Amino acid sequence: MPSELPATPVIAEVVDKYADDLVALRRDLHAHPELSWAEERTSEAVVTALEGAGWTVRRPEGGGVLAEIGHSGPLVALRADLDALPVDDLISDPWRSTNPGVAHACGHDVHTAGLVGAGLALAEVSARGMLPGRVRLLFQPAEEVMPGGALQLISAGALEGVSHVFGLHCDPSLDVGRLGLREGPLTGAADALTVRLIGKGGHTSRPHLTEDLTFALGKVITELPAILSRRLDPRAGVSVVWGMVRAGSAHNVIPHGGVVAGTVRMLDAVAWADAEHLIRQLIAAIVAPYSVTAEVTYQRGVPPVVNHAESTRLLGTAVENVLGVHGHVSTAQSLGGEDFGWYLDSVPGAMARLGTRSPGGPTYDLHQGNLRVDEAATGIAARVLAEAAVTALSD
């Protein structure tokens, strides 16, 4: 196990002291979820907690919270996301969402409460003269919408002077008390794609007199993923998955309009740079035989999260100081999108996956209304994030 830093027992002491408060905060945030760019109540809860602990706090225009502590020396940033998802909360706990159709189904309530806990711990470390530099907390809006609220915080100066940035993301497939860590690519790039077709409709008994838009839409749905698999390097792991299809309202009417929408994901940043131009070309070629008009809306989303080697080492050391040498395990790259990648495009940093499954309990999935987390993960997140900041500043 790495040598314990002087601040390590202080961090543990403070997080233990506030353990019940952090769980209560997480439950309060879960009961009052807010969608992307509307995280007003959530942000005020963060401001109240941190200002009371001595942090210098500001609310950037556009949303989110930036907080800083320390007077001189190197600067490390810690990040959490604030927003919830437009899904129904299916849990039956007393802290079930009170906002119909909105739920913390991706664990951002845990991320936020965990970073508040790290802030409380670091405030005490600073008060005791044990903080070897400065720490900035990034409470970010709108992670769940493309291209993500990270760009807004970056434009507000969130990364100015920062040497490393660290973050955690809930992983319901990993037991609480474990963190998944990986040097290099952790997530994939993710874009949003909408294809709207317009053409001459008519009666299904006379498709030859129409432009049979529904048939053309079906071709886009099936052919685009197939052709992409032959036009882009298969090692890029390109995946086009449709989430919404809409056309027509009667079984015997060929409609004059239809739309299909989904995501384009890939593991490789080089393929991400080429994907939009190629996809627009392919859609035009697919629909050409049917004489329909295709309107393509392609929104570039987020780049892959690529963990920096030195930052990953520092984060691993922090995990070991908190949980021991078995506290982190290897984790695989996923196709999930995470706008933390924008931070890592600018400064070195690393993200780890935070185990939230109760040992022996069921495995849930993210972005589902039945997501449940082991609440011990909140305190673990607080300790690991605070430890990561002190570890990086002491390195």
Render pLDDT for 1-40 as a digit per residue (tens, 0 to 9).
566 789 999 999 999 999 999 999 999 999 999 999 999 9
Contacts for 104 with CB less than 8 Å, ≥ 6 apart: 29, 30, 33, 84, 85, 89, 97, 371
The whole-chain average pLDDT of the chain stands at 97
Residue reference for tokens 């915080």: 153
List the chain residues with pLDDT less than 50.
none
Contacts for 392 with CB less than 8 Å, ≥ 6 apart: 74, 76, 163, 164, 166, 311, 314
Q: What is the pLDDT of residue 4?
A: 76
d(CA 395, CA 393): 6
Positive or negative torsion for Cα 103, 329, 347, 380: positive
Give the residue from 390, 311, 296, 304 showing the smallest Cα distance to 347.
311
| Pairing state between β 328-330 and 239-247 | unpaired
CA atoms within 13 A on the CB side of 68: 18
d(CA 337, CA 197): 27
Q: Are 351 and 186 in contact (CB under 8 A)?
A: yes
Q: What is the pLDDT of residue 267?
A: 94
Report the amino acid identity of residue 231.
Answer: R
Q: What is the pLDDT of residue 2?
A: 62
Q: What is the pLDDT of residue 269?
A: 87
d(CA 215, CA 105): 36
Residue reference for tokens 């920062």: 162
pTM of the model: 0.93
Catalytic (active-site) positions? 83, 143
